[in-house]
Amino acid sequence: MQAAATAPHGRGSLGPVGLVLAGCVSVQFGGALAVSLMPRAGALGVVTLRLLAAAVVLLVVCRPRLRGHSRSDWRTVIVFGLTMGAMNGLFYQAVARIPLGLAVTLEVLGPLALSVLASRRAVNAVWAGLALVGVFLLGGGGFSDLDLVGVAFALGAGAMWATYIIFSARTGRRFPQADGLALAMSVAALVMLPLGIAESGTRLTDPTTIALGSAVAILSSVLPYTLELLALRRLPASTFAIMMSLEPAIAATAGFLILGQSLSAVQAAAIALVIAASMGAVRTQVGRGKTVAPEA
């Protein structure tokens, strides 16, 4: 009976939350599939296939208008596309070198840093310190067991993820439905195409590789980006970032189930610390009535 009484309120808040959770699961299991495809097409080749297939699907489905947009609208969608391409390219280079769960844990430091920098409260220094402890544990006290290049790529992807949060929200407000996403995905695909061809060449034309790359595109791009874009129209960026903090745990699960990548107890504890730090930092922002990502 109590649920029925609160249904109107719950429906408005549960809807976008469900969209984000579905997007999180889709993107991480798509990432696991992408890792299994890398021996066939290379990291940049997989990114190229993913973005191209996603762009084609979104352009056909959305049929975005090219006229009637201001220069500011186009600047926003182009930056969103460049950010999307860089985020994907850097992340796939990372997961080609280090386990999926660890890569996502390092990547999530980008949104966490955005949250901490947006607040001047002393308590956020605690959350930042907690995240640093988690990262220290993740590297076994010195990252001796992890590929440092992979770590650097994951951290770079995190910086792009923070930027993605900002420009996804801006694009969602400036373009109807998923039009902005379709245009931004096209920009990302065009940017990555020369890099993918340079690395993979004719391997990108193999029918099986194309089919698997298209599946990665649906799971990792079309579904999650569309769901997140729609969710951000009704969900504060602060709440969105809290839910994004769960990505490392979902990624570790996907890596274990699909790729057989197991974590040590210390690495699992490190992931838990980073997740706790991310949630704590964002909740501090919520308490002050601020959002994690500026939405001007």
More confident residue, 251 or 282: 251
Confidence of residue 207 (pLDDT cuts 50, 70, 90): very high
Q: Which helix (H) or strand (E) holds 38?
A: helix 7-41
pLDDT recorded at residue 139? 63
The answer to whether residue 7 is domain-embedded is no
Whole-prediction pTM? 0.76
Report the pLDDT averaged over residues 2-6.
39
Q: Which long-range contacts (CB under 8 A, 24 or more apart) does 153-156 make?
A: 153/90, 153/91, 153/93, 153/94, 153/97, 154/90, 154/91, 154/94, 154/98, 154/102, 154/103, 154/104, 154/106, 154/107, 155/106, 155/107, 155/109, 155/110, 156/86, 156/90
Give per-residue pLDDT as tens, 172-205. Answer: 888 877 788 899 999 999 999 999 999 988 888 8
User: Is 70 exceeded by the pLDDT of residue 11?
Assistant: no
Question: How many folded domains does the chain comprise?
Answer: 1
Report the pLDDT averaged over residues 5-9.
39
**Lookup: tokens for 12:** 């408005």
Type of residue found at 171: T
Give per-residue pLDDT as tens, 145-169. Answer: 678 899 999 999 999 988 988 888 8
Confidence of residue 122 (pLDDT cuts 50, 70, 90): low
Question: Mean of the per-residue pLDDT values for the chain?
Answer: 81
The answer to whether residue 295 is domain-embedded is no
pLDDT recorded at residue 285? 59
The answer to whether residue 128 is domain-embedded is yes
Report the pLDDT averaged over residues 66-95.
92
Phi, psi of 62 (to 5 degrees): -85, -30
Dist. CA 64–CA 81, nearest whole Å: 15
pLDDT recorded at residue 94? 94
The answer to whether residue 3 is domain-embedded is no
Sign for the pseudo-dihedral over CA of 244, 249, 254, 260:
positive
Which region among 9-18, 117-126, 212-221 has the lowest average model confidence (pLDDT)? 9-18
User: Following CA atoms 220, 225, 230, 231 in sequence, which dihedral angle do they give, to the nearest 10 degrees?
Assistant: 70
Give per-residue pLDDT as tens, 24-69. Answer: 889 889 989 999 999 999 999 999 999 999 899 889 988 888 888 8
192: left (phi over 0), alpha (psi -120 to 50) or beta: alpha
Identify the domain containing residue 97 by its residue range: 20-287
Going by C-alpha positions, the residue among 174, 184, 251, 196 that lies closest to residue 221 is: 184
DSSP letter at 235 equals S
pLDDT recorded at residue 9? 42
The answer to whether residue 1 is domain-embedded is no
The answer to whether residue 2 is domain-embedded is no
**Lookup: tokens for 202:** 């004719």
Longest Cα separation, the chain: 61
Dist. CA 153–CA 276, nearest whole Å: 23
The answer to whether residue 186 is domain-embedded is yes
The answer to whether residue 9 is domain-embedded is no
